[in-house]
Amino acid sequence: MSDIFLRSVELSNFRIYGERYAFEFPEGPGVTLVTGANGLGKTSFFDAIEWALTNQVGRFSDIPNDARRKGPNPLTRVGAPENSHRVSLAFSDGAPIDRGAGFLPPDGSIARLLKQPDWPEIGNLHGYLSITHFLGQASTRRFSLREPKSQWEALKGPAGVDRINALRERVSGQGARQAFTRAIRDRGQRLDAASGVLDAWRLLLDDRDRLARLSNSERSFSPAQVLETVERLAQEFLPLVPGARWITVKASDEAEGALNQLAALLGDGRLANEAATARAAELERLCGDYAAAGDQTTQKSRLAREITDRRARLIEQLAQAEISLATAATALSRSEQRSAQIQGRAASLARVSRAMEQLERSTASIDESQRQLGTSQHGAARAEARLATCRSGIDAATARRAERKRVSAQLESAKLRARLSAALRTVRTEIQRLKPLADGLDEPGLRGARSDLTAQTRTIGDEIVRLTTELRSHDARVQTFAEAVARIAHQLTHDDLTCPVCASPFAPGELRSLALANAAVDAAPAAELGAALAAAKVRQDEINRQMAVLDRGLADHAQLTAALTAEQDREAVLVQQLVVAGGAADTHYDDSAVITLGAGLDALDRDISEGPSQEALDAALAEAQAAIEAERVKRVSLERTLANASSDREAARSLLSQHPELWSAAAGLLVPLAQEETTAQSEALAIGEQLQTDQKQLDDARIARDAVAAAINREDASLATINGELDALAEGRKALVNRWGQLGQTGDPDSARVAQFRSQIAERQARAEPIAAMHTDLINGLRIWQNDQQLQQREQAIAATIFERQVASEAKATEALQMAVAQSQAQLDIAQRARDRMEDVGTKMQARAEEFAEEVLEPLNDTIQRFSRTLMTWSDASIIYRAEHHATRSELRPALIHTDADGATSQLEINPNYFFSEGQLSALSVSALLAASTTFSWSRWRGLLLDDPLQHNDIIHSSAFMDLLRQMVRELGYQVILSTHDSSEAEFMARKCRSAGIRFAVHELMPRGDAGLVSAVA
């Protein structure tokens, strides 16, 4: 089957493209360049081909995506209906490939179209194309920059490793492993079942032998015998347990149930005996406690009588102590009353003495204050007179200064009106000068003339630009032709028949004649264009000079207008200021008023200077005011002193009037105070000593009374404690008697009754023991009988097994069961050996896959190095890839091969991304793509789609890259589609392809409108 080529790509609403944007490609080997500025859809074009062929865009896989948020489809053009994007590819063979907007290629149809007929089925078409056809612009999507695991996943398909892995999967994959696991599990289960049957057979034989050893018919009891004996024993035992319940045993009852019922009855009897024994022990304890409580009650009663006698004697002593305490308290009370009378008399004498002193001091103070008040009143009258004189002088001086201020303000206003009037006259003179000058310039006419000249300047400027552009274009054509002629002139002769530029045929000598004729034709238009350009520039200069004259006139008019406006504004301001200063706008003011007001102001200044100064007047006024204030303060102080003295005198008289026996207002003191105070002090000392004696007697009586009372309290507490204990003993004995009655006894606790009760318990136990022993014999006899029955059942089961296995004896049956276990074990061993063999084959195929990968990588590494030596400039380092296999993954590990100066090589385990520059890594990615594409020939489409492959390369590497592409197109028949945004780079590629004589086309992307890119094919 022949090779295929991409003929066309049609895009609708895909990314930046609008409706039905078409790319047409030459059918066959060649180079197509997609060019345009950034953002015009070059990368989107390659995304569209990748999406149409594989249903995915590889560079989008690197973008983080939040699956919780559903956004618009990034492949649909913004503004277009949702999911309306579609891409259609047409190859030179096969049906078109349509994807999107409801179209979906059949499963596997694209892989079948692209792969060679003998190549196996392809599972991951995107991985194949990404390593042999596509070179993305994003550095992370290029082969050399991918993760090692991703590199291996992309390489193993085209390298053929997938085929070995697929065979290994069929032989030892998950399905085969699961099948062997199920077979081993089933055969293991059959082995477990056979082993279980054999173990059960052996257990049956052992159980039969054990039961045979235990068999003894003489000691056995049949169920009927057990039932009869149990009923008889129960009837014998029931009288020993009053109130016990028993259900009569019937012949149809189970023997075990009857034995259990008898065991329960015996258990009730044991419990009753245990309860009776415990009750006897408790009765004994009650008897002991009751006797002990009686002894304690006797002792406590005797002690209580002794305490009662002692308490009676203490009560008699307490009565005597209370009488002594009352006598001492009465004597102390009489002494305290006498002391209070003496102290009251002394206090009254002291108050009268102090009141007399206060009365004498206040009377003297009142006389002195009244004398000083009279003197202060005369001083205040003199200060008031001086204050009135100072104020009249200050008022006169203030009036003279106010008059001077008024005259001074009038003088300043007169001076301001004179200055404003002079300035106003000057401004009005300037306005009269400027107005005729401004009116003499015709401003509208000047502007109209300038507008006409501006239009002419614009027209001439456009003409100059046009002539200059035509002249430059003409010069460029002449220069290009001259350079071409200069390059080939030394090679042309009269006999040259073919143009070295366009390969057109010519007659002998015709090529040289045409060149000379073209040179002669071009000379005339260049001269005419130059003359026209010079004339246009002369006209432009003349118009510029005229415009300069008009501009000066307009500038003069604007300057005069501005000056006139400024003077008019100044005139208005001066008029307003003149009116504010008290003048009239139309009146002229000179200096006459200024002179008159100045003379009046001088006279006022002389009067003010001849009189007292303001400081002297203020000082005299302050002195007079201070004197008045001092006299006022002195008078207030004297009045306060007088009031206080009067208040003290009245208070003293009031206090003295409270003691008429000692003082009267008319006679004064009635007794000698000093003598009375001495007598009161002597009486106070005597009564103080008597109070101390009486207080000591009272304290002694109180201590004696308290001691007797404390003794009585202690006896009361002891008596209360003993009475409480007696009550407790009585309650305890009562409780013992009640408990004795609760235990079924009468009267008071008695040890003889307890001994009789214990003998009854011993009698019941003696009668119950033979019955319990017989019950045990019945149980053992029934168990022996049951063992005999089980022995018969085991023998019957053994006979049935022998019959089922169709053998003659137990040994033959055991041999048959052992044979079945051995057969199941053999089947399990066969399955396990088969699985081990399968795993061994899978391991060997894995090793073969790894060896095959190394065999594939060796030529790939050689090819990458050959391409790298062409595209990269280093000479001492190269790169190789090797496969690295792990338990759960395989990776492609790159390494550096470094060549020393002596030719020796060494391998460095370092990631190339840390060693090479961006330009070298870009060249390395191109080398890897070209090497994989030429090494792995899995596809009928020998195509390369390169998105901006020269983005990190200089002109030298770009030239080497284009040389490689030309060889691959010319020698290997490749169809190359690449992009660039650099116009000079595009022109360089075009020259390279044309010079090599290979097919070359350019598709230029134009800026888009509102509906996407405008479709155009170069």
Calculate the CA dihedral of residues 612, 617, 623, 627 and round it to 10 degrees.
110
Q: Rounded mean pLDDT of 364-382?
A: 82
Pick the range with the lowest mean pLDDT from 207-221, 711-725, 732-746, 997-1011: 207-221
* Model pLDDT, residue 1018: 30
pLDDT at 720 over 60: yes
Predicted confidence (pLDDT) per residue in 390-408, tens digit: 888 788 888 878 888 888 8
Predicted confidence (pLDDT) per residue in 553-585, tens digit: 888 778 878 888 888 888 888 888 877 877 777
Q: Rounded mean pLDDT of 288-293?
A: 82
Structure tokens at 589: 């003011």
pLDDT at 303 over 60: yes
* Model pLDDT, residue 1010: 64
* Model pLDDT, residue 873: 59
The owner of tokens 């291996």 is 152
Contact by Cβ (8 Å): 18, 4:
no
Interhelix angle 161-172/810-871, rounded to 10 degrees, is 170
Structure tokens at 36: 């345009």
* Model pLDDT, residue 100: 92
- List, as one string, the DSSP characters of 568-621: HHHHHHHHHHHHHTT--TT----SHHHHHHHHHHHHHHHHHHHS--HHHHHHHH
Contacts of residue 974, Cβ cutoff 8 Å, sequence gap at least 6: 29, 933, 942, 943, 944, 965, 968
* Model pLDDT, residue 938: 84
pLDDT at 904 over 80: no
* Residue 168 host element (H or E): helix 161-172
* Model pLDDT, residue 878: 66
Rounded alpha-carbon distances, angstroms, from residue 26 to 5, 31, 989: 9, 9, 17
* Model pLDDT, residue 143: 60
Beta 943-946 vs 134-135: how paired, if at all?
Answer: parallel
Interhelix angle 751-805/255-440, rounded to 10 degrees, is 80
* Model pLDDT, residue 5: 94
* Model pLDDT, residue 12: 93
- Tell how far CA 512 is from the center of its chain: 84
Predicted confidence (pLDDT) per residue in 925-983, tens digit: 888 888 888 888 889 999 999 988 887 777 777 888 888 888 889 888 999 999 998 88
Give me the residues paired with residue 17 across strands: 1013
Q: To the nearest 5 percent, what fractions of the chain are helix, strand and coil?
A: 70, 10, 20
Confidence of residue 174 (pLDDT cuts 50, 70, 90): confident
Contact by Cβ (8 Å): 474, 526:
yes
Q: Rounded mean pLDDT of 372-388?
A: 81
Beta 97-100 vs 21-24: how paired, if at all?
Answer: unpaired
532-556 core/surface letters (b: 16 or more CB in 10 A; e: else): bbeebeebbeebeebbeebeebbee
Predicted confidence (pLDDT) per residue in 494-504, tens digit: 666 666 555 56
Nearest alpha carbon to residue 414 among 569, 598, 616: 598
- State the pTM of this model: 0.40
Contacts of residue 758, Cβ cutoff 8 Å, sequence gap at least 6: 280
* Model pLDDT, residue 523: 41
Nearest alpha carbon to residue 882 among 894, 868, 897: 894
Q: Rounded mean pLDDT of 107-111?
A: 88
Q: Can you say whether the dihedral through the CA atoms of 584, 587, 588, 589 is positive or negative?
A: negative
Pick the range with the lowest mean pLDDT from 278-282, 312-316, 360-364, 884-888: 884-888
Q: What whole-number distance in Å separates Cα of residue 804 and Cα of residue 771?
A: 49
pLDDT at 490 over 60: no
pLDDT at 608 over 70: yes
Contact by Cβ (8 Å): 290, 737:
yes
**C-alpha R_g of the chain:** 71
* Model pLDDT, residue 594: 77
Predicted confidence (pLDDT) per residue in 988-998, tens digit: 888 888 888 88
Confidence of residue 32 (pLDDT cuts 50, 70, 90): very high
Q: What whole-number distance in Å separates Cα of residue 866 and Cα of residue 931?
A: 9
* Model pLDDT, residue 488: 54
Q: Rounded mean pLDDT of 520-528?
A: 52
Q: What whole-number distance in Å separates Cα of residue 259 and Cα of residue 239?
A: 19
Structure tokens at 530: 């130059």
Of 834 and 873, which is predicted with more confidence?
Answer: 834
Instruction: Give the largest CA-CA distance in the chain.
Output: 183
pLDDT at 984 over 70: yes
* Model pLDDT, residue 145: 58
- Tell how far CA 647 is from the center of its chain: 85
Residues across the chain: 1018
637 CB-side CA count, 13 A: 9
Classify residue 600 as exposed, middle or buried by CB count within 10 Å of its CB (0-12, 13-18, 19+): middle
Predicted confidence (pLDDT) per residue in 618-655, tens digit: 787 788 888 888 878 888 888 888 888 888 888 887 88
Q: What is the 3-state secondary structure (H, E, C) of 89-158?
A: EEECCCCCEEEECCECCCCCHHHHHHECCCCCCCCCHHHHHHHHCEECCCHHHCHHHCCHHHHHHHHHHH
Q: Which amino acid is at 477?
A: R
Q: What whole-number distance in Å separates Cα of residue 7 and Cα of residue 94?
A: 11
Contact by Cβ (8 Å): 18, 10:
no
The percent of residues in the chain predicted with pLDDT above 70, rounded, is 85
* Model pLDDT, residue 918: 76
The percent of residues in the chain predicted with pLDDT above 90, rounded, is 8
Predicted confidence (pLDDT) per residue in 226-256, tens digit: 788 888 888 777 777 777 788 888 888 888 8
Q: What whole-number distance in Å separates Cα of residue 31 and Cα of residue 659?
A: 147
Predicted confidence (pLDDT) per residue in 814-855, tens digit: 888 889 889 989 998 998 888 888 888 777 777 766 666 666
Beta 890-899 vs 877-885: how paired, if at all?
Answer: antiparallel
Predicted confidence (pLDDT) per residue in 761-792, tens digit: 787 777 778 888 887 877 887 777 878 777 78
Output the CA angle 616-618-619, nearest 5 degrees: 65
Q: Rounded mean pLDDT of 259-283?
A: 82
Structure tokens at 104: 């979906």
Confidence of residue 476 (pLDDT cuts 50, 70, 90): low
Mean pLDDT of the chain, nearest integer: 79
